[in-house]
Amino acid sequence: MTAQACEAASAEKPLLTSEHPDDYQNPTEVKMSKLVLPCHANHRGELSIGQLLKWMDTTACLSAERHANCPCVTASMDDIHFEHTISVGQVVSIKAKVNRAFNSSMEVGICVICEDLFNGNKWKVCNAFATFVATSQGNEKIRLKPLVPGTQKERMEHSIAAERRRMRLVHADIIKDLLTNSTVQDECENKENTTMVPAKMTRVESVELVLPPHANHQGNTFGGQIMAWMENVATIAASRLCSSHPTLRTIDMFHFRGPSQVGDRLILKAIVNNAFKQSMEVGVCTEAYRQEGEADRRHVNSAFMTFVVLDKDGQPRPLPRIKPEPGDGERRYREASARMKIRLDRKYIISCKQTEVPLSVPWDPSNQVYLSYNNVSALKMLAAKTNWVLSSEQNKVKLYTLEEEESLSFKIKLSVSVAAEQAFLLLTDLTRRHEWDKHYLKCELIQQVDGDDMIYHVVSPSVSKGSKSQDFVILASRRKPCDIGYSFFFFLKSNMDPDNPINHAFSSAGTFCAHFTMGRKTSQNVSEKICYYNQATPGVLPYIATDIAGLSSVFCTTVEACKKFLEKN
């Protein structure tokens, strides 16, 4: 389907809003409900994570094949954090749907909910994002049809899927950079070896024969089945370190490097790579071979799983330290520390509720991709909200507000007769913003992170007479449209630059998130409207409070100056 056809399809079937949620059913959505029986459970009467992974993979595969109309295989799975356990007798509900189709791969979003049938309570167990690749019987290369989002929420997920794809592509490079730049310190040399458990004591090796029940309709081993076997050997390795029954909390992002088929033998190897204060990382490797004695083994998959040991109150217990094996063991030890840093960065920046995340997060090369992702996703979710209230309108410039429990957001909308791409280039150059925005006294580019992300230092005038001027360090991320019918986006969020010390001549301030969207609805690339969004913080509120109350027209003056700036340049 061409971009024009995609646009036509969108025009024929307009986006639905939350006002009519029952009128629309996503054509790729698949739901699976399972009653947890004793055969699915571990020794504690809880659903085995391996069994849950099999169900998740099956549901996601059915969703992918529903969109592709051809067989699909699991290519990768993003990080999974299991928030709750599931007990025998409870019901697991798994929902999967395709968020976005690329050329031959697609992202499938998975949500797992648990239900207690006796009291009716429901709670989320985990969310996951899997990548599936469409396969053909011959050598013909499959090109997937574009996915047309049916609701505003799906449109948002479709857009953010591209940002998650950026994270997947650079994940391995981030770990290499951490190790190369010595950001992760080698702690094993600083510990007394007498208090450490040798890693070789945790080593586990197992073999599995792939039989027809383990394979899909193409004869390839289910990705979920391989993950279940990997979880089993990883649990044994973790148990050998702690001499107890561990609980799997997190599976790091992993990729399937090749398929396996019925008749293959799978060798699964696991070892504890590193043990931290209250958690441990277990590395698992899967190799396949066809016949006994075959020397040439194929690498199928590697995964890294984080376990904790819970006490009687459900709190993580301290763990013994690990003594890595020389050579590869020391390399795995350092890489585990790098993955721990990345895991903490992700949790700190992305996973927590926005009110629990500090306004400004320290920036470094290893967390830049997660800061950018949070930047982009936070603002796209803000823009997707539908309950905006029109507060004032002057000279065709509209000011909307959105009051929520923990924040106040505002949106300014104007129309300009400027090509969207030209407006995008002008507005994303913050060094010129002082030409039209008097709230920017000075803006200096600190670092060009990459082609789409920059770090700026901004100085704003004082809020009240006699007070200090305010300064911000801002991560600016710009994104071009994924297709005709989508918008240009420019995102701003406060962060901290460790290489630039605090200047006490200014009063430090920050912003949760702010951005511009520039419409691009036609192939002629003419912008119909520009919207500016800001989720206000106490530092920003004094600049706009009088405008929202209708006591001033500063915002209108600024927007008019912006319009003249765009049309002039």
DSSP string, 266-334: EEEEEEEEEE-SS-EEEEEEEEEESSTT---PEEEEEEEEEEE-B-TTSPBPP--EEEPPTTHHHHHHH
CA distance 99 to 64: 10
**Residue 538, burial from CB neighbour count under 10 angstroms (0-12, 13-18, 19+):** exposed
CA distance 253 to 76: 7
Confidence band (pLDDT; 50, 70, 90) for 361? Answer: low
- Sheet with 204-209, side-by-side order of all strands: 80-81, 247-251, 298-308, 280-289, 265-275, 204-209
| Choice between 537 and 143, residue whose per-residue pLDDT is larger | 143
Q: Using the Cα atoms of residue 492, residue 496, residue 499 and residue 502 in order, give the sign of their dihedral.
A: positive
The CATH superfamily holding the domain 368-568 is START domain (3.30.530.20)
Kindly calculate the radius of gyration of the chain based on its CA atoms and give it in whole angstroms: 26
Helix axes of 541-548 and 554-568: crossing angle, nearest 10 degrees: 100
**Cβ–Cβ under 8 Å, residues 460 and 472:** yes
Mean pLDDT of all residues in 382-401: 77
For the domain spanning 1-153, the CATH number is 3.10.129.10
- Beta partners for residue 256, in sequence order: 301
Mean pLDDT of all residues in 183-207: 71
Q: Do domains 184-351 and 368-568 have the same CATH topology?
A: no
**Cβ–Cβ under 8 Å, residues 245 and 44:** yes
| Choice between 522 and 78, residue whose per-residue pLDDT is larger | 78
- Residue 356: the pLDDT is 47
% residues pLDDT > 90 (the chain): 29
**Which of 7-21, 124-138, 186-200, 379-393 has the weakest average pLDDT?**
7-21
Spell out the domain ranges in the chain: 1-153, 184-351, 368-568
**Cβ–Cβ under 8 Å, residues 403 and 521:** no
% residues pLDDT > 70 (the chain): 76
Average pLDDT value for the chain: 79
Q: Closest Cα partner for 498 from 363, 320, 347, 379? A: 363
| Choice between 451 and 245, residue whose per-residue pLDDT is larger | 245
Most confident segment among 24-28, 262-266, 341-345, 357-361 = 262-266
**Which of 78-82, 122-126, 200-204, 362-366 has the weakest average pLDDT?**
362-366
**Cβ–Cβ under 8 Å, residues 122 and 112:** no
| Choice between 362 and 555, residue whose per-residue pLDDT is larger | 555
Q: What one-letter code names the amino acid at 109?
A: G
Which class is domain 184-351?
Answer: alpha beta
- Residue 561: the pLDDT is 85
- In this predicted structure, the answer to whether residue 255 has a pLDDT above a threshold of 80 is yes
CA distance 172 to 180: 12
User: How many other C-beta atoms can be found within 10 angstroms of the C-beta atom of residue 58?
Assistant: 19
List the Cα angle 331/334/335 in 5-degree steps.
85
**Cβ–Cβ under 8 Å, residues 423 and 432:** no
- Residue 508: the pLDDT is 42
Confidence band (pLDDT; 50, 70, 90) for 499? Answer: low
- In this predicted structure, the answer to whether residue 527 has a pLDDT above a threshold of 90 is no
| Choice between 518 and 272, residue whose per-residue pLDDT is larger | 272
Which pLDDT tens digit goes with each residue over 54-110?
Answer: 999 999 999 999 999 988 889 999 889 898 889 999 999 999 999 999 888 999 999
CA distance 496 to 436: 26
